[in-house]
Amino acid sequence: MPLFSLTVYSPSYLYIGEMKKVVEILSVSVSFGQKTVLENVDFCVYEREIFAIIGGSGSGKSTLLKLMTGLLAPSKGKILIHGRDLVQAGDEEFKRLMKRFGILFQNSGLIGSITVLKNVMLPLLHHTDLGEHLIEAIALEKLNLVGLAHATNLYPSQLSGGMRKRVGLARAMITDPDILFLDEPSSGLDPVSAASLDQLIVKLNRELGTTIIMVSHDLESIFKVAQRAILLDGKRKGIVAEGNPEELRRHSKDRFAQAFFNRLPLETPND
Amino acid sequence: MIRESQNSTNRLPLAIEADERFRSIIIEILPPIHSSQLKIADSMLNGIKKKRPKKVIFHLKDSAHLPNSFTFLLGYYVFLFEKNGIEVGYGGLEAFLRTTIDGSKKYWETKRNAALSYELIEGVGDKLLTAMVGVVKALTFVGELLIAFLKTPWKPNRAHKGALSGSLIRIGIGGVPIVCLISLLLGLVMAFMSSIQLEQFGAQIYVASLLTLAMTRELGPIMTGILIAGRSGSSFASELGTMKLSEEVDALRSMGFDIIRLLVMPKMLASAISLPILSLFSQFFGIIGGLLVAVTIMGITPESYWNNCFESLRLFDIWWGTLKSITFGLLIGGIGCYEGLKVEKGAASVGEAATTAVVKGIFAVILFDSIFAILLVYW
Ligand SMILES: Nc1ncnc2c1ncn2[C@@H]1O[C@H](COP(=O)(O)OP(=O)(O)O)[C@@H](O)[C@H]1O
Ligand SMILES: [Mg+2]
């Protein structure tokens, strides 16, 4: 029995019926010890779409990304990537699926003991037999793309939070992944860098056809780039609204969703 | 890995034209260059380098956007060509080519100079590692078991070279001063305390055998174990705990690295190699501490001290101590890493993990020391 009403808006210009599902989350629950974070969550992400996961802090957004990337196993439910069950997949198949992912972690996840350049090179060093100079050339291109070509020989501890995020993004992009998972990519960035990040995301999506799944608090960027979004509420332990961000902002009946998308305070805490 | 493009996979990025004796080669760049063609371009250019022509001419007909990775690759080869005495020229859109390629060539020139020292350090570390592994190989059958256990998962991959040598240097060499100092003080105190008792029986000379037996059989290994549990066990736990918090561990896992093999094994191996060596240091310095007291306070000559010392020294004790130290090393490394990897949330939990690692590490060292003692009696 549903505890809340789910509002779903699909903008008319999206022909979802014909699109391929790349990620499917089927009644997934996650608990840490006694504490349940997500309960019976269901949604899917389509090929070549920019999909946003939104919600208050602690609502389980990062947890959801870890589920989709196989770094965390659900307590209940199924996760399908390209139709393959992530939990059931054997070692080889799992590795093959992972190679098509690029992940930017909330804390960047840069390896502290090696330089920025090596960090960006690492996925290709590990996965391919390309010459080191060639990998370096590719890494330099990605670092250029995020505006950090001058920082190659620095160590992660010498960078600001926003710079680390951008290095993490360069590393996530180096394999030209099919699916890019971004956890709060614009946090710690100045408005100008955040705007060029939006541009980069759209460009990757248009030119390389990369599916992008991003966790974000940055409403401006969500309205600008995301085609579809889900809103998580920590109290209700799951999705409370799903659809095009702009339409959700205008038409959502859910009080929490209205407050969230219009950046308004909630008078009484929602329960 | 680099994604195949829809239409440009079968097209070559470069056209190469050479006179029949490969004296000069014209390399025509054929845009648009796609990332899937980089590997081919790389091997074509490498092939040209091997032919050792006198002159290479890069040629670009129409102005086009060249991806950065491609110009960096060209810059790399221009740098190599010129270093090998191959003349490089430009044709077609000459000025454009020259400026783009020169820019990236500069990167590689400065880069190589900077990299040299770094690689050197790694090289020394790896040699040290080989030497150390050689020492361990000669040890008892447990030592051999250990190596067998560690050799299979430790296939040095270019992405994680240097992990073991780094840990070895930090635990092994970093632990030397504290272990030596504490052992020396311990030797001093023991000799001083026992000198009063021994004097009553006129048996001062036995201070040497007392220290030798105590240090080699018990105190050397166990003191080293406790010190390293405090020093390195906590550092393993906090290092891995911090890596968990900063999501480094997740990042490595997502790239397909095996965390046990990459982060845990080198630390366990490094402490299993360092501990017996540090324990030998400890034994030696404890005995030296005794010597200092014996010579200065008790009026014993160094010769008689050493004679007495060697009389009571048994090779078996040293082997046994080494075996114990290897076990302690594995325990300390394993417990430290385990506690570190248990960290989930919050900076405070890193501190907790470090404390727990020390407490459990010391407990494990003492527990296993007792087990070894029982084994020795009932075996
Ligand atoms: N590994 C973990 N162990 C225990 N609790 C966790 C763990 N990971 C996340 N949590 C808890 O789950 C909730 C959701 O966390 P998270 O997904 O990081 O939220 P956010 O939406 O801010 O990204 C939080 O209350 C957090 O404390
Ligand atoms: Mg988060």
Encode pLDDT of B201-253 as tens digits: 888 888 999 999 999 989 999 999 999 999 999 999 999 999 999 999 999 98
Q: Which residue of A has its CA nearest to B80?
A: A133
pLDDT at A38 over 90: yes
Strands A211-215 and A21-32: unpaired
Residue range A26-47: mean pLDDT, rounded: 92
Please identify which residue in the block is written with the tokens 């810059």.
B75
List the domain boundaries for chain A.
1-100+227-271
Q: Which of A134, A146, A169, A181 to mutate to test the interface with B (most CBs of B within 10 A)?
A: A134
Higher-confidence residue of B335 and A18: namely: B335
Q: How confident is the model at residue B162 (pLDDT cuts 50, 70, 90)?
A: low
Q: How confident is the model at residue B114 (pLDDT cuts 50, 70, 90)?
A: low
CA-wise closest residue to B18 among B43, B62, B41, B52: B52
B183's CB contacts (< 8 A; 6+ apart) are: B215, B219, B220, B223, B281, B282, B283, B284, B285, B286, B289
With a 6 Å cutoff on the Cβ, whether A11 touches ligand 1 is no
Q: Which of B6, B76, B248, B258 to mutate to test the interface with A (most CBs of A within 10 A)?
A: B248
Q: From the CA of A132, how many Å to the nearest CA of chain B?
A: 10
List the domain boundaries for chain B.
14-110, 141-378
User: With an 8 Å Cβ cutoff, is B39 touching chain A?
Assistant: yes
> Using one digit for the tens of pLDDT, what is the confidence trace for B353-378?
999 999 999 999 999 999 999 998 88
Q: From the CA of B252, how many Å to the nearest CA of chain A?
A: 8
Q: How confident is the model at residue B159 (pLDDT cuts 50, 70, 90)?
A: low
Contact (CB<8Å) B251/A123: no
Contact (CB<8Å) B39/A113: no
Strands B14-18 and A238-243: unpaired
Helix extents (H) in B28-93? 38-51, 68-83
pLDDT for position B170: 75
- Whole-number Å distance, alpha carbon B184 to ligand 1 midpoint, is 50
Query: CA dihedral in degrees (B188, B191, B197, B203; nearest 10)?
Result: -150
**To test ligand 1's pocket by mutation, which of A32, A41, A104, A239 has the most ligand atoms within 8 angstroms of CB?**
A32
Atom number, ligand 1, closest to the C-alpha of residue A56: 21
How much is the pTM? Answer: 0.79
Ligand 1 atom 10: residue of nearest CA: A32
Kindly report the average pLDDT of chain B as a whole number: 82
pLDDT for position A12: 41
pLDDT for position A239: 93
> Using one digit for the tens of pLDDT, what is the confidence trace for A230-240?
999 989 999 99
CB atoms within 10 A of CB A166: 29
d(CA B182, CA B271): 19
Q: Which residue of A has its CA nearest to B344?
A: A32
pLDDT at A50 over 90: yes
Higher-confidence residue of B341 and B152: namely: B341
Residues of chain A with C-beta less than 8 angstroms from the C-beta of B70: 137
- Binning chain A into helix, strand and coil, the percentages to the nearest 5 are 40, 25, 35
Q: Which residue of B has its CA nearest to A117?
A: B111
- In the structure encoding, which two tokens stand for residue B117, read together? 């020292």
Three-state secondary-structure class, residue A231: strand
User: With an 8 Å Cβ cutoff, is B81 touching chain A?
Assistant: no
pLDDT for position B152: 43
pLDDT at B108 over 90: no
Ligand 1 atom 2: residue of nearest CA: B344
B151's CB contacts (< 8 A; 6+ apart) are: none
ipTM: 0.86
Q: In chain A, pLDDT over 70 holds for what percent of residues? A: 92
With a 6 Å cutoff on the Cβ, whether A62 touches ligand 1 is yes
Higher-confidence residue of B122 and A157: namely: A157
Ligand 1 atom 6: residue of nearest CA: A32
Nearest ligand, CA of residue B342? 1
* Least confident among A207-216, B119-128, B134-143: B134-143
Please identify which residue in the block is written with the tokens 């740098």.
B79
> Using one digit for the tens of pLDDT, what is the confidence trace for A167-202?
999 999 999 999 999 999 998 888 988 998 899 999
pLDDT for position B144: 37
Helix extents (H) in chain A? 61-68, 91-99, 116-127, 132-145, 161-173, 191-203, 219-225, 245-251, 255-262
User: With an 8 Å Cβ cutoff, is B352 touching chain A?
Assistant: no
Q: How confident is the model at residue A135 (pLDDT cuts 50, 70, 90)?
A: very high
Q: From the CA of A6, how many Å to the nearest CA of chain B?
A: 31
- Whole-number Å distance, alpha carbon B128 to ligand 1 midpoint, is 43
A98, A130, A208: residue with CB nearest B254: A98
CA separation, residue B104 to residues A68, A136, A155, B74, B146 (Å): 38, 12, 22, 8, 48
Q: Which of A140, A154, A175, A179 to mutate to test the interface with B (most CBs of B within 10 A)?
A: A140
Q: Which amino acid makes up residue B338?
A: Y
> Using one digit for the tens of pLDDT, what is the confidence trace for B33-69?
888 889 999 999 998 888 888 899 999 888 778 888 9
**Is domain B14-110 in CATH 3.30.750.24, yes or no?**
yes
CATH fold for domain A1-100+227-271: Rossmann fold (3.40.50)
Kindly report the average pLDDT of chain A as a whole number: 87
Higher-confidence residue of A142 and A88: namely: A142
With a 6 Å cutoff on the Cβ, whether A32 touches ligand 1 is yes
Q: How confident is the model at residue B332 (pLDDT cuts 50, 70, 90)?
A: very high
Atom number, ligand 1, closest to the C-alpha of residue A60: 17
pLDDT for position A34: 85
Q: From the CA of A253, how many Å to the nearest CA of chain B?
A: 35
> Using one digit for the tens of pLDDT, what is the confidence trace for B271-326?
999 999 999 999 999 999 999 999 998 889 999 999 999 999 999 999 999 999 99
pLDDT for position B3: 46
Contact (CB<8Å) A136/B38: no
